[in-house]
Amino acid sequence: MLNKKHIVFIVFLLFSFGNYTFAQQNPEDIALVENKTEDYFFEALAQRGIENYDKAIVAIQKCLEKEPKNAAFLYELGKNQLDAKDYVAAEITFKSAVEIDNKQRWYWNGLYDVYYQTKDFQKSIPVVEKLIEFDPNMREDLVSLFMNTNQKDKALQLIKEIEATSNLTKTMEFYKLKLESTAEFATPKKEQLEKGIKEHPKYEQNYVDLISLYLSFNQEEKAFEVAKVLEKEIPNSDWAHVSLVKFYLASNDGINASKSMFKVLMNSKIDLKIKHRVFNEFLIFAIKNPTFFTDVDAAIPYFDNDPEVAVAKEVAKFFWKKSDLDKAIYYFEIAIKKSPDDIESLNYFLEVLQQKQDYQRLVVKATECIELFPTQPNYYFYAGLGYNQLKNYKKAKENLENGLDFVIEDLKLEANFYEQLVISCEFLNDLKAKQLYASKLKQIK
């Protein structure tokens, strides 16, 4: 009959080693484990628990003297050898456990841990290939191993297999981008891609690669033909529209170009860089065809979560550089509405209002900025300049003198303050202050 200690021992083994049950022995056989073996096993567990790996190894080896073919004991020995950094011994032990029971995932995991810690990537590969049978997510580990062993073709092929069934993680996206940007993969052979499309007409990536290949050779018509085939074979593919946007725009078909653009923008799998390119192409088209600016406005919110590029601000800067001040103001307002404390957008916006000579809006916005950022001197300058132009010289002088205290080591801005203060003081007939500021301006210049 099993005593309490036997039961604890058996339960531990069952829960520690998954489905392993002493090489599928009958419960009656398990019950025959000698008390001394149990004692050594529990001693090994206790010593491991306090990180005394040497004593744990001695204890578990005594278990193995009794049962040398017990894979569970070998696994426990291997774990202690690994933690003791005796990698050679740990490798031999885990291999022995695998030879006895190759259907137990944890034994393979132990072997992988040895190779991982010793950075033996080549030996890791067949082990991870085995682990994939237990857990398909281990394919990502295999990709990393292929990358570390310079097996780029295998890495890219495996990434494409993963992509065919699920979304790529950021690490896999990085590897894919890195691989496809190298010379050997940047221009995959046209014949291979065409063959791949013929053999697997529903596999999207071959179309995408062939379109990219043709575009890199400026063979837009051929790329258009591939995109059309992709659209026919995979009607739900948004990738077809990455290329179709450009072709529709070239054909002056703004309506279909807009539809394609939004299909691209709404697809979470398409990289942000590609979305930016598509949007920029449509923006250039809209400049010549202003009726499509409503589509530009509708497209901007799709980039709201972009951590790197504030699209509305970039569009506004684009128009500012082209001296289209009305559109610059319009898009800076959109940018500021989304990010009210974006100092760069605020600075540009005030500058554009000054250039447009919209002084009423300039003083209103500059005053709002002063409330948000009371130590930013340029906002006081814009308020003062605006009030001078509106002939409210008292308010101008007040803002300028308040802001002057915050000007630090910026001679150009300081000179601008003095120029406006000279104007304010002259119209206020404050000749003493005018002379003071004129003198300081002269010293700077």
Whether the model pTM is above 0.85: no
- Nearest 5°: CA angle at 377, between 372 and 379? 55
pLDDT for the residue numbered 56: 84
User: Going from the N-terminus, what domains does the chain have, and what CATH number goes with each?
Assistant: 1-118 (1.25.40.10), 129-185 (no CATH), 369-445 (1.25.40.10)
Torsion of CA 43, 48, 54, 59, to 10 degrees: 20
CB 187 within 8 A of CB 213: yes
Distances (CA, A) of 173 to 180, 182, 196, 272: 11, 15, 22, 12
Q: How far apart are the first and last CA of the chain?
A: 103
User: Given the structure tokens 């310079």, which residue do they identify?
Assistant: 150
pLDDT, position 373:
94
Q: What is residue 167's predicted lDDT score, i.e. its pLDDT?
A: 81
The number of residues making up the chain comes to 445
Contact of 292 with 254, CB cutoff 8 Å: yes
Helix (H), strand (E) counts: the chain? 27, 0
Q: Which pLDDT belongs to residue 23?
A: 36
Model pLDDT, residue 11: 36
Per-residue pLDDT of the chain (445 residues; tens, 9 = 90+): 334 344 334 434 433 443 333 333 433 344 444 467 777 778 778 778 888 878 888 888 888 888 888 888 888 888 888 888 888 988 888 888 888 888 888 989 889 999 998 888 989 999 999 898 888 888 999 999 998 888 888 888 888 888 888 888 888 888 887 786 665 665 556 888 888 899 999 888 888 888 777 766 777 678 778 888 888 888 778 878 887 888 899 889 999 999 999 998 998 877 787 788 889 999 999 999 999 999 999 999 988 888 778 899 999 998 999 899 999 999 999 999 989 989 999 999 999 999 999 999 999 999 999 999 999 999 999 999 999 999 999 999 999 999 998 998 899 999 999 999 999 999 999 999 999 999 999 998 7
191-195 contacts, C-beta under 8 A, 24 or more apart? none
Which stretches of 89-227 are assigned E, i.e. beta strand?
none
Euclidean distance between CA atoms 305 and 107, whole angstroms: 44
Q: In sequence order, what DSSP letters do the residues of 60-73 get, joined into one string?
A: HHHHHHH-TT-HHH
